[in-house]
Chains A and B, each alone.
Chain A
């Protein structure tokens, strides 16, 4: 990381994603004909710079986990391009990917199903060494024990089985395994959402420390906006397979531009009962996220947006840089210049401002 950041040129991104698409076919009948597709990820582009943490946030079904599995190449993309350190990895085979697995690792959400119950911790954390045929200095056992103490576990627990550990400890085991081969990029899919509050904070701090210590680059996928704000340098907000807003942390939380981001932020419960009375209004989105099998035309958010006009239904808004390092895909953004000022006719059937913005009692 250090030698890269020193260069005066704009930093070469570690991971470059361009127009990434993943459609899961829906098959029906005896002949298994394809009758449609779940458009899980539908054309997203972003960069991940070395040493930074990119947070990806969105509701369930927005394609954030699929995105994580695409950039780690656990899934085969339908279209688009993924580059890791300038090398195109979009369609590499399993065998061709293997050397790269050293550099790209993943931490999974569920610490109960991501560890083999029949293997000891030593075997689990040592597996990457065996798979990559790497013999670390001082032997596998010593390296595994170092990793265990790195993530705050007792190295003497080498021979224990996963069921002997609590959820938080298991998550640490998963982290130790991901770090075994000193990866450059770690993709963490909901790394703390299965954990209790007090344990969540321990794991968040651990990820933070490891990043400082090992110079890691993270892509952290989560649905919890408070956690994302705490860990990320930059944040991408996803809705129905698209990135709707991509920005540095502070501008995103202080001046969100996309109405969806604004709605998400206002829905976060705040642990302060005084604010309940003080808060003037809250945006309450109606209904649910539409199905990704047949997403709405134009801007995918127009069915729930209180600012929707005719153009939103017909034209898909591009992801534009409306403020320095702040990209948003919206025709009528908040906190920025209206992109379609001539189009003022409200979309029939769209919710009105009064319906959506709810003033608290």
Chain B
């Protein structure tokens, strides 16, 4: 089996992965919420594999289900309203069917999360150090002193100056970048094998963003963990991700290595995202090429391809198929998948002749 296949995986093979380097395997994950307005299909069939030492970038706009996916993996959805189906394999343990207590013991130790807004994710009443110490002692029966030493060490590792002094600071005394560092320290205190970062840099300035991305990259190299980075910023994923998963309306529309998706994107939505971004590395373009319209409501997801109302090529495939049949993920290159009805030759032609020259 080629290397690429093992990275992005093949959909819908239930059961634990035999390959031992695949650490996280998500199989047909669906997360629906019952609301007064109807059933919200936030995540509607997502599958992917992730190996240790690799970084997966999940890209999509607000409401595409990327954060709901990550909370689903972490088992943070157990409310009465969420309906979760599918499988999440963490190494050899399936999490969706496991007891709440079991998932709780994994959370923080084997898998940890960095949230977007560190000010609301850190408790304002406790010192930063106390919160990191607690995260350590929940999973390790050690003396307070040992845990404190560990916390100070972690603060130092994430680049907080004077860690021993900063240990007793409160979150409000930290700047935005320092808070994000403190949260990364808390997430990594137990050496998790899986780290999920949900928009880790969105609230930060560009120079601080560069620092934090660098930090995540360095720490991953050091700890060898698997990392999922969720973001709406294609620039951020290009900086950090090895593999890429593009989400639209709760589904995966394209998946492949970062090189594949950026060099030869296959889905019209990915084209739209690339065309929407002003790029600092290219010649100035006169106009951006936005995706027309707005993302659909997840209660009434359009029939057929959910992207068809916004897709400029919706009428290219014959028999109105884009409006009636839901496209499945198909392999278009080694380890490169897309869910689109456009015939392969047509898609390549549109990309090379119509879309790429304008970017």
Chain A residues proximal to chain B, CB less than 8 Å: 59-60, 166, 168-169, 196-202, 204-205, 208, 223-227, 229-230, 249, 253, 263-276, 282, 284-285, 287-289, 358
Residue of B nearest to A288 (CB): B175
Which stretch in B11-19, B39-47, B269-277, B316-324 binds the other chain?
Answer: B269-277
Question: Are B208 and A288 within 8 A (Cβ)?
Answer: yes
With A and B bound together, what is the CA distance between A307 and B323 in angstroms? 60
A/B interface sample: 28 pairs, CB < 8 A:
A59-B205, A59-B207, A60-B205, A197-B61, A197-B232, A198-B276, A198-B290, A198-B291, A198-B295, A201-B288, A208-B287, A226-B278, A266-B210, A267-B206, A267-B209, A269-B213, A269-B235, A270-B279, A271-B277, A272-B238, A273-B258, A274-B263, A275-B238, A284-B207, A284-B211, A285-B211, A288-B178, A289-B205
Which residues of the other chain, A, contact B161 by a CB distance below 8 angstroms? 287
| Contact between A205 and B278, CB atoms less than 8 A apart | no
In Å, the complex CA distance between A286 and B220 comes to 21
Nearest to B242 among chain A residues (CB) is A273
Q: Are the C-beta atoms of B273 and A198 separated by less than 8 Å?
A: yes
Collect the chain A residues with CB atoms within 8 Å of residue B237's CB. Answer: 271
A233 CB to closest chain B CB (Å) equals: 11
Say whether B192 faces chain A, with CB atoms less than 8 Å apart.
Answer: no
Which residues in B have their C-beta under 8 angstroms from that of A197? 61, 232-234, 273, 276-277
Q: Number of A-B pairs whose CB atoms are under 8 Å?
A: 132
B322 CB to closest chain A CB (Å) equals 19
Instruction: Known contacts A196-B61, A267-B209; decide if A226 and B288 are in contact (CB<8 Å).
Output: no
Q: Give A225 to B205 CA distance when docked, in angstroms.
A: 11
Asked whether B278 lies within 8 Å of A275 as measured between CB atoms, the reply is no
Task: A253 to B275: give the CA distance in the assembly, Å.
Answer: 21
Rounded to whole Å, the gap between the CB of A190 and the closest CB of chain B is: 13
Contact partners of A169 in chain B: CB under 8 A: 294
Q: Which residue of chain B has its CB nearest to the CB of A291?
A: B175
* Contact assessment for B205 and A205 in the assembled complex, using a CB-CB cutoff below 8 Å: no
Among B238, B277, B285, point to the contact of A273 (Cβ < 8 A). B238
Q: Cβ of B263: which chain A residues have Cβ within 8 Å of it? A: 274
The residue of chain A having its C-beta at the shortest distance from the C-beta of B232 within the complex is: A197
| Assembled-state Cα–Cα distance A264/B288 (Å) | 23
Chain B residues positioned under 8 Å from A288 (CB to CB): 175-178, 208
Assembled-state Cα–Cα distance A242/B124 (Å): 33
Q: Is the CB of B275 within 8 A of A226?
A: no
Q: Is there contact, CB below 8 Å, between A284 and B214? A: yes
Query: Would B274 and A205 count as touching, CB distance under 8 A?
Result: no
CB contacts (< 8 Å) of B206 on chain A: these are: 59, 223-225, 264, 267-268
> Contact string, B253-276, partner A, CB cutoff 8 A, digits 1/0?
000001100110000000011111
Q: Please, which residues of chain B bring their CB within 8 A of the CB of A168?
A: 294
| A204 nearest in chain B by CB position | B288
> Which residues of the other chain, B, contact A208 by a CB distance below 8 angstroms?
287
List, in ascending order, chain A residues with CB within 8 A of B62's CB: 196
Complex: A196 Cα to B293 Cα, angstroms: 12
Nearest CB on A from B25, distance (A): 24
User: B332 → chain A, closest Cβ, in Å?
Assistant: 18
Which residues of the partner chain B approach A285 to less than 8 Å between Cβ atoms? 207, 211
Whether the Cβ atoms of B290 and A271 lie closer than 8 Å is no
What chain A residues lie within 8 Å of B233 (beta carbons)? 197, 269
Contact (Cβ within 8 A) A202 B281: no
CA distance A196 to B280 in the complex (A): 18
Which of A198, A226, A276, A287 is the one whose CB lies under 8 Å from B279? A226
Q: Is B5 an interface residue (CB 8 A)?
A: no
List the B residue with the shortest CB-CB distance to A197: B276
Is the C-beta of B239 less than 8 angstroms from some C-beta in chain A? Answer: yes
Indicate if the CB atoms of A284 and B272 lie closer than 8 Å: no
Interface-central residue, B61, B207, B290, by most chain A CB under 10 Å: B207
Residues of A within 8 Å of B275, CB to CB, are 201
- Is A205 a contact partner of B259 (Cβ separation < 8 A)? no
A271 touches B279 (CB 8 A): yes
- Determine the chain A residues whose CB is within 8 A of the CB of B175 once the complex forms: 288
B-chain residues with CB within 8 Å of residue A205 when the two chains form the complex: 287-288, 290
